[in-house]
Amino acid sequence: MSEESFKKIFSMNLNHYMELHGKTQSDLINDLGFNKSAVSTWCNGTRLPRMDKVEILAKYFNINRSDLIEDKPKPDNTPYYLNDETREIAQEVFEKPELRSLFHVARDIPPERLKAHIDFMKSLKEQENN
């Protein structure tokens, strides 16, 4: 495979994981201390980073190095709920079959709104049982 192909694959993978994690080039620069022009060239596919930088990026995104440098199908690792606290609350709800209808709400709902929905569903369920 040509170097140009590797650059294209890396660029596509890096941009994919940046989008998946809601990160920008500025985030990589600020969070990891990378050079602005280096990040730009990686994202646009004109240069490849050294392997030590690939390792840092892989750890940052909590993925394998191969996820950045190999051309392979991307699993959809996007969690349904985007907020960690909301995701934990939703898992608790999932374990209670009578409340599972809450999974039809928007996946980016803030945790306080999800809690309000749960309280509402519980009160409806109580009224139904009485």
Task: Count CA atoms closer than 13 A to 58's CA, side-chain side.
Answer: 16
CATH, residue 43 = 1.10.260.40
Rounded to whole angstroms, the Cα distance separating 56 from 63 reads 10
52 and 8, same domain (yes or no): yes
For residue 123, the surrounding DSSP H or E stretch is: helix 111-129
Reduced to 3 states (helix: H, G, I; strand: E, B; else coil), residue 108 is coil
Neighbouring CB atoms inside 10 A of 61's CB total 19
Residue 82 has pLDDT above 70, yes or no: no
13 and 59, same domain (yes or no): yes
Tell me, what's the pLDDT at 27?
Answer: 94
12 and 62, same domain (yes or no): yes
Confidence of residue 128 (pLDDT cuts 50, 70, 90): confident
Tell me, what's the pLDDT at 59?
Answer: 95
Enclosing domain of residue 20: 3-69
Average pLDDT for residues 98-124, to the nearest whole number? Answer: 73
Average pLDDT for residues 63-72, to the nearest whole number? Answer: 90
Identify the domain boundary among 41, 69, 97: 69
**Is the sign of the CA dihedral 44, 45, 46, 48 positive or negative?**
positive
The answer to the question of residue 49 being in a domain is yes
The answer to the question of residue 79 being in a domain is no
65 and 92, same domain (yes or no): no
91 and 115, same domain (yes or no): yes
